Structure 1
Amino acid sequence: MLSITTPYLMNISLDMLSESVGLLFFFLGLYALELKKNRLSGIIFAVSFFSRPSYLIFFIAGFIYLYLFKRDSLKPVLIWFLSTSALFLLFVFINNGMLYFHEGVRFIEGHFSLWGRGQNSELSWFDNIFSFVNMPYIFLIFLLFKQERRFTLLYLLFVCYFLWILFAQNPDSLRHVIPLIFIANIFLSIYLKKMPLILFLILSFNIFHILQYDEKISPIEQIAKNRALTERIIIANRGIEILRTVYNYRVADNYYGESAKYLNEQNRVYIITAKKPKEADYEIYKGRFVGEKTLYLLKE
């Protein structure tokens, strides 16, 4: 119930990115491992890894755990994980050739040097983690006083992934915290199962927070329905392809700063931004769920 009612569930459901598939197969793999189905676990983990390569930190931590505490499971899990991953890699290589590797290198370099660690973000992981929506997780303090050996793997996964997002993920993308939320829900369900009143209050809190969002479509789609946009060039760094291909608007990518600046100086434009303007005439388009950015439409 904690996971079903968490406000973050809508994030991975409606974002249509790879987190949902990666997490599904990751937890299925953990379940298979718990049942001692080591080969199946390795195969499922490979599916999770290729769905969401940034979960590599999970598998590194997991293999270290198996080496230290369940060495008899390490070999079959690792063999089937690597062999299944090799099959996926072969399939991708046959279809894309070396382009896949070139794109991978380009993406990794861009992630760590340009955007992926919050280089251009005004937020921090402190802001995201200690936000109001996460207040129920204050009960995780119980972990400091009552730790169970059977959850050693989950403790390790939680800590390693927490450090990973702190140093290697963008706080602008709140979806990166979702794996921690689901693992934390497992911890909470264990420690609160004998506290039905507190559990009820947490579930009520989650539902209340979900109901605060009443938008039916994404902010960029809300903006796109404004037919006045046809009158001017749009400068944006979000939803560019949607605005161009679906709605046929004239859009300049704000990533190319000099070009966008020139267009702004030479034309009357609309600007779409996720940064709240300080002094300007703007319209607000709110997100549908926690983590979806509110967008602002400025007329200049």
Structure 2
Amino acid sequence: MQLSNHKEINGDHIRGGKSRLTYLWLNFLRNLRCSQKLKSKKINFGNAFETADDLGGWSPGRGLAEHFLMSELPKLLNNSGYTDINNVNILDIGCGSGRSVELFETAGLGGAWTGLDIDDRFVERKSSRFSLSFNQCDVLSKDHSPDFDLIYTNSALEHIQADLDFPKKTVNWLKPKGIQLHFLPAPASLPLYLWHGWRQYSLRRIEQTFPNSAIEVYAIGGLASTILHFFFITPWENFFRISLRKKFTRVYKWLLYYSIKADDYVPIFPVFYAVVVSKPSPNNSN
């Protein structure tokens, strides 16, 4: 059964209690759909940070997603056949301010970085490892030649209404060994971020979004960090505009540190999925 974009609601723009409850209910039901064969892999972050002081004030899912990029992306590129990560051509879709450049640099990558975003929020910056360019456009109205080694998004696909059309275009922008890395909100992010984007991504939705491609899915976060986000961030920042993370920074970092360790033992209800998509072979294309 194919999901229809026409039945989805954009949570970024809804107003009123009825519309918000409808959004939560429809997405809750949609997220219950089980995958046909796709399984997620667990990345253990419990030993990634020596002390609580090594952590920022970031939310668990977003911070761990960035850590995944910096620690795992070079391995993913090497596994795909790239031996020179100093010459990687990256397309960052929904790039926002361009913060990902710093993450790619920390990961040891270099080359060329192109950012795309429907809004111009890009912050001009200098990089010793990348040549930088930015284009303000709708990604689905854009065409590229197959020049990219990596296509990257971070919490962007849920803001694209016709996301099922997305891979039909982007798959043609990759070099033969190129990969895509997408950080997508998992079903557990619904009660955490509430009215955010058009949808969350269950494993079933990921299957439908990237058909006929080789997919690996990594779970980011787990039960403990999800509970921490729900009680320490969601109500206070969404309804009262109060950041307990800033008011009680040391307490939050301590709770976050031990939540990340506990996630290794209870790796259910991840906040995000890291989805690695390889270009399909010519005889198995969309």
TM-score norm. by structure 1 comes to: 0.27
Question: Radius of gyration: which is bigger?
Answer: 1
More helix by share: 1
* Structure with the higher fraction of residues in strand conformation: 2
Whose relative contact order is higher, 1 or 2, with alpha carbons under 8 Å and at least 6 apart? 2
